Chains A and B, each alone.
Chain A
Amino acid sequence: MQQLIFQSIIEALRAVGRFWLFIHDFLLGLREVRIWASLLPGQMRRVGVNSLPIALFISLFIGIVLALLSRYIFTGSVPMYFVGTLVGKSIMMELGPVLTGLALAGRVGANIAAELGTMRVTEQVDALETLAYDTHSYLVVPRVLAATLMFPVIVTLAIAVGLVSGWLTSITLLELSTQDFIKGLRQFYEFKDIWFGLVKSTSFGAAIAFLGCMKGLTARGGAEGVGLATTQAVVAGAAMILVLDAFWAVLLL
């Protein structure tokens, strides 16, 4: 029993050490701008632009559901223009960044972990290292930077789509006028509502890509190891999104 506990502690300390060594290698890889800069646009398209359909699809239905839910909650004593307030605040500050991040944790995190894991188990990474390529500059930095830069962009567009879908739902299904919806939307609006969501989404992108890269490059074995690394990347990415969400809420609200 004592041996098991000792082994667990040792493994935990090794995991922390690998994490910080990975960060160290990532920071060193940032120096090789010539390498990662050429790869960045392609990664931004793969991570960001190609993720737009799923992000916008999710936000579309978030807007609809929030508007209907607001009508259900506010029926009675609360003015109906608060539908706009609830839809706006919820999508801009919480549901837009978090649900989009969770969706992209599956798509982007799994994609990166599977790709790099496959490269690891098929010894492509070893080949790059043999050819004196900095694997972090070549593989990790473009993906992490692309996710970090593109997640706010994706979330911004997702928020816009969510607000439009909420507005359309309000005027078509809730008998709410456009003026009332806008009044509610503007009633408690602050610029912080927007940048708070964008700051969160930036951190979500960095965390998802970073964990995907780390899990992929540490994959061992064959296809099973790649699958395990992919699963771990998605689960760790989703958990990290929720942790960061709480962290920013405590720090900024």
Chain B
Amino acid sequence: MRRRDELIVGFTVVIALIAILAGALWLSGTTMSRTPDFRTARFRTVGGLSAGNPVVLRGVRVGKVVSITLEGDEWVEAQFQINDEYDFPEDAAVIAASASLFGEWQAEIISRLQPPNDPNVIADLAAAFAAGDDVWPGATLPDIGQLTAQAGRIATDIATVSSRVQTAFDSNAVVHMQGAIENFSTVTDQINSFALEQTEAMDGLGVSVMSGVGIMTDAAEMLQGTIGRLDSATSQGEIDSIIQNAQALSAEIRDVAITISELIAVIHNNQASIQRVLQGADSVMSDLVAGTGTVGMLISDSALYIETVRTVQEMRSLVEDIKANPRKYFKFSVF
């Protein structure tokens, strides 16, 4: 009984051990056929890459990330387990990036000479390559979270701008804008009306021009006839007589013009004199109004007027006295 129990229990345990080992190896993708190859890549940061993430070459899984360790102050080194022999690019590099929207990451082996079109990635690859050693240079693409955060910041900026626009574009602004639009509509109507009027005027002008052209054509024809008649008149000597008369008349007109010109010059001079007289009169009148000057003082000061009147009366009596008694004032002698 005991031997039977041991056999049954042993069989069960072995089956369970096989299930564990085989299942664990199968699920992890580990193969027992050959010794795996190990490669190392150097990154500034590995982002969300972690041990167990797949390593892919042109989209095909070729291994997995075994370990990630910090190297010094600058670098992180990720060790990859490569399950089989593959022809990697001689200038191989590694890009760590999100493999899907659900958070899993992968390390993709690419050619360093054909990096993704991202200046940060190119710079990281160059820096990791320049650091030397026999490791693949690596760079990390931003993950979904970073892109989402960036999109969030952009959305926040847009919301801020929208808020500002909303603040600036309040109900009053709408009313003003409606008024401006209505005004603009009125102005547009006016311009339209004006344009129509101008168009009609231009049409009229065009008609007038056409009419004028017709008249000018008629005039030209008449002129042509006149010239014809002029030719015939020239042949009879009448034109010479007319020209002589016209010359004489012209000389007379020239003389008259000269006279008029001289007369105008005199008038100009008189005008200047009149201006000066008027200026003087104006000055005198100003003095009179202001009570300055002799006349002004005479006008404004009654005492002086009285004194003047008295002086004049005395002068008149003196003159009468001189007339009456000349010997009193004048004495004549020959010798």
Q: What is the interface of chain A, defined by CB distance below 8 A to chain B?
A: 38, 41-42, 44-45, 48-49, 52, 78, 82, 88, 150, 152-154, 156-157, 159-160, 163, 185-191, 194, 198
Contacts and interface: CB of A to CB of B under 8 A. Distances in A.
B20 to A, nearest CB: 5
Contacts of A159: 19, 23
B331 interface: no
Contacts of B134: none
A160 B28 CA distance: 15
Nearest to B13: A153
A191 B21 CA distance: 10
A158 to B, nearest CB: 10
Contacts of B23: 159-160, 163, 194
B12 interface: yes
Given A38-B2, A189-B28, A194 B9 contact: no
Contacts of B24: 191, 194
B29 interface: yes
A152 B27 CA distance: 19
A33 B12 CA distance: 23
B6 interface: yes
Contacts of A88: 27
B52 interface: yes
Return the 7 tightest CB-CB contacts between A and B, nearest first: A153-B16, A156-B16, A41-B5, A189-B27, A44-B9, A45-B5, A41-B6
B19 A156 contact: yes
Contacts of B157: none
A152 B102 CA distance: 32
B243 interface: no
B28 A41 contact: no
B104 A187 contact: yes
A154 to B, nearest CB: 8
Contact of B2 (A42, A82, A153, A187): A42
B242 interface: no
Contacts of B52: 189-190
Interface in B98-140: 102, 104
A41 B13 CA distance: 12
B12 A52 contact: yes
Contacts, number: 59
Contacts of B2: 38, 41-42
A100 B279 CA distance: 132
Contact of A45 (B8, B15, B29, B102): B8
A41 B19 contact: no
Contacts of A45: 5, 8-9
Contacts of B28: 186, 189, 191
Residue of B2, B6, B12, B17 with most partner-chain A CB within 10 A: B12
Given A41-B6, A189-B28, 20 more contacts: A38-B2, A41-B9, A42-B1, A42-B2, A44-B9, A48-B9, A48-B12, A49-B8, A78-B102, A150-B9, A154-B16, A156-B19, A157-B15, A157-B19, A159-B19, A185-B27, A187-B104, A188-B104, A189-B52, A191-B28
Given A191-B24, A194-B20, A194-B23, A186 B29 contact: yes
Nearest to B99: A187
B274 to A, nearest CB: 106
Contacts of A189: 27-28, 52
Contacts of B12: 48-49, 52, 150, 153, 157
Residue of B1, B15, B23 with most partner-chain A CB within 10 A: B23
27 contacts: A41-B2, A41-B6, A42-B2, A44-B9, A45-B5, A45-B9, A49-B8, A49-B9, A52-B12, A82-B102, A150-B9, A150-B12, A150-B13, A153-B12, A153-B13, A154-B16, A156-B16, A156-B17, A186-B27, A186-B29, A187-B104, A189-B27, A189-B28, A189-B52, A191-B28, A194-B20, A194-B24
Interface in B301-315: none
Nearest to B10: A41
B1 A160 contact: no
Interface string B47-64: 000001000000000000
Contacts of B15: 157
B9 A152 contact: no
Interface in B250-276: none
B31 to A, nearest CB: 13
Contact of B5 (A44, A82, A190, A198): A44
Contacts of A157: 12, 15-16, 19
